[in-house]
Structures are given as structure tokens and as C-alpha cells.
Amino acid sequence: MKNLEKKWALVTGSSRGIGQQIALGLARRNCNVIVHGRTLSNTEETIQLLKDLDVKVHSVSGDLATEAGITSVIEGVKSGPGYVDILYNNAAIMNTWKEVWQIPMDQWQKVFQVNLFTVVQLCNAFVPGMIERKFGRVINLTSGIQDTPHLAPYGVSKAAIDKYTKDLAAELKETNVLVNHVDPGWLKTDMGGENAENEVETVLPGALVPALLEDNGPSGRFFAAQDFKELD
């Protein structure tokens, strides 16, 4: 698998939960990490966990539900490492549980803003540089959610992520910028809840597989993190 030493990875929503695990997993493979949270203070826990690892760490902040927040993240990267080799689009939100007919449009719009439109904006900001450097890995977190109309905005936004991933992979064919999507599984996080099937740590090592692909490897593919949970 690909050596990530000296590469820079931006992991959105890495102040806790799945994103924090992904940040730690990448750092253990010698990848420098850009930690993201809504505020810089939110990133402190992850930064402390990364201190004992021999990698560089940078932090950025911004509420991905707002244009100002997205701009803050992009500018924060530019004022730090200046570029991204691995873009891990982990951050997402879920709507309030309601009958599908009663979900207000502002919830649909906010969920799509964070879960889809932010992903598009970050790809627009950082993928052209990957093309120029002839290396890049974009990993979009998806979901296996189905038959849950009460959470339709979340589920539909993740279906859109799947389609966007495949379209972007087609655009980037033969550039060595690989774009794939990962289902982390149902995990015990703030979003997944305490009744989830798996501990958050089981997202590793599977969630890292698309970041570790060799040059010109598979793109536009789906990976299930839980398929790899028995591996070291």
C-alpha cells in the first residue's frame, strides 16, 4: 500500500468520532494531518492525541453549514501547508427524526449544504492542485442507511455523494487522483447513537484503504470499512 510519509491530509469533522479515528489512523501511517472542527478549540483533543506521533499537524476551523465557514477552512489550509494531498470528506449532519412529509425545507437545505455542497466546494478548491502534482486521494464518507424515510434528507444526501464520487472519478481518469467512497458502518458516535452495532474504533483500518491505494489504483469504488475490521 502507498507510503503516506510527507503527505498532507485534510479530514473534515476530525475533532471527534469517526473523523478523529481517521486522523489518528492516517498519522500512524506517517501522514501529516490537518484537523478540522467548527472552532479551533474543538480541535484541541485530537491535536493532543496526535502529539506522540511523528507527524506535522495543522488545525483549521469553520462551520461547514456556512459559506464563511467553508472559506475559513480553505484559507486555513492555504495559510498552513498550502495544499492537500488527501481530502477526507468525513463531516456530515443528520436531520431531526420526523415523518418525511413534515421535514421542513430548511433542514433539507442545511443537510445538503454540509453533506454534499461542502464536499463539492472543497473538491473544487483542492483537487486542481492534486492534478498538477499528479497525486491525490479524495475519500467521501457515505452511508448504508436505507428504508428510513424519517431521515430522508440525510439518506438522499449520501446517495448524492455516491453519484458525485463516480462522476468525479470519471473526470479524473488517468490523473492519479483517485476518488472513492466509504461506508463506515453503524458506529457508536454522537450521530450513530449508543445502540449502534459497532464501536467507533472499528472504522479502522477499513476507512484508510482508499487513502493507501497504490498509484493509478481503483477509483469510483465503494468500500465498506467494517469488511476490514478484523485486520491490523
Provide the 3-class DSSP secondary structure of residue 27: helix
Amino acid symbol at 127: V
Query: What does the buried/exposed string (b/e) look like for 189-199 if buried means 16 or more CB atoms within 10 Å of the residue's CB?
Result: beebeeeeebe
For the beta carbon of residue 159, count every other beta carbon within 10 angstroms. Answer: 15
- Among 83, 88, 154, 164, the one annotated catalytic: 154
Estimate to the nearest angstrom the gap between the alpha carbon of 95 and the chain centroid.
19
DSSP 115: I
Where residue 133 falls (left for φ over 0; alpha for ψ -120 to 50; beta otherwise) is: alpha
164 noted as active-site residue: no
Q: 57 φ, ψ to 5°?
A: -135, 135
> At how many degrees (to 10) do helices 105-112 and 152-171 cross?
30
Sheet holding 32-37, edge to edge: 57-61, 32-37, 8-11, 86-89, 136-141, 177-183, 222-224
Catalytic residues: 154
